[in-house]
Each structure stands twice: as C-alpha cells, then as structure tokens.
Amino acid sequence: MGIFKYIKSISGSISDNDIIPFFYNKKDKEYRGIKVSDLKLQLGSGTINGYTNKVINLGVWNMDSDPDIDIDHGLSATEFDTIVDVRCMIFDDGNTTLRPLNSVNTSGVLNGGIDRVTPTKVYLERVTGGQFDAIAHNDAIQNRGFCTITYIAD
C-alpha cells in the first residue's frame, strides 16, 4: 500500500493535471505527489478522464441450474457505441468469496464470461463443470454480484 495508505478519500472533481500530494518536502517547502494522469484508477460508479463506470447489480442468479442470464444495462444508443470495458464479479452463496466471472479454476478451466453486449443488454454465461456450476452458487435469493460497464456518457 505504501504512500497511499494515508489517503483516506479524494472528493470533488479532479483532472489529469492535478497532483495528489503524498508528502511535504520541508527543505523546498512544497508538496510532492503524483499526477492523476499517471495513475491507473479503478472507480465504482463515477467519471474520470471522460469515461464513466456504471455498476449494475446482477440480481438473483442460481448459477448451478441456470448457465446464463442477461441484464439490462440502461445505456443510450450513443453510450453503447462507446463501451470500452465490461467486467463482472460473482459472490458465492455465503458472501465469503468474490471472483471475476472470467476466472479460471485450479485446473485452468475458464469458469464463465461475458457472451456479448447488445444495445440494451449484457449476456453472461457460466461454463458447465466450472467453479460456478456448483451448489456454492445456487442461492436464488441473494444478489449474485456486480457488473461494471466503462463507457463515455452522453
């Protein structure tokens, strides 16, 4: 974690040229830091460098019995055309483990992935025989996880 363990939060708007300070140089009487543009930031729902991250609950998904689901993303037609990334994280039934949908099991077999994205939906699949095709992912009550879409907002 290094220098960033002291940064608790950053609020307000930030731009590429802003400096995030991490120490004060007494000799030069100035703060030293890192430019925002030099960071690779991962946001929840929010906007940085013109890109917006939208986080969507997957809702109920009994992955043991249902190999696929589709979720509405709610983006406009012009926003759909600017999608640059889609990622999904999956909870097990006990909410004790969170894994990427496209993770691999201990045998190196892919567990699932994003099948496709259309102008209205994101289609997700789990692989038969993969880690998500099991009783540890069969609860039909809880939110199964989250999907994050990165795009340019209207």
pLDDT of 76 > 80? The answer is yes
Q: What is the mean pLDDT of residues 127-137?
A: 92
Summarize pLDDT for 30-55 with one digit per residue, the tens: 656 666 555 555 444 556 677 888 99
Residues contacting 133, CB < 8 A, separation 6+? 63, 64, 67, 126, 127
132 and 71 both lie in a single domain: yes
61 and 11 both lie in a single domain: no
pLDDT of 2 > 50? The answer is no
| pLDDT tier at 5, thresholds 50, 70, 90 | very low
pTM for this structure?
Answer: 0.69
The 8-class DSSP code of residue 97 comes to -
Position 4 scores a pLDDT of: 46
59 and 14 both lie in a single domain: no
Position 74 scores a pLDDT of: 95
| Boundaries of domain holding 91 | 47-151
Report d(CA 56, CA 126) in Å as an integer.
18
Domain count, the chain: 2
Report d(CA 108, CA 36) in Å as an integer.
36
Q: Which token pair is 54?
A: 């939208």
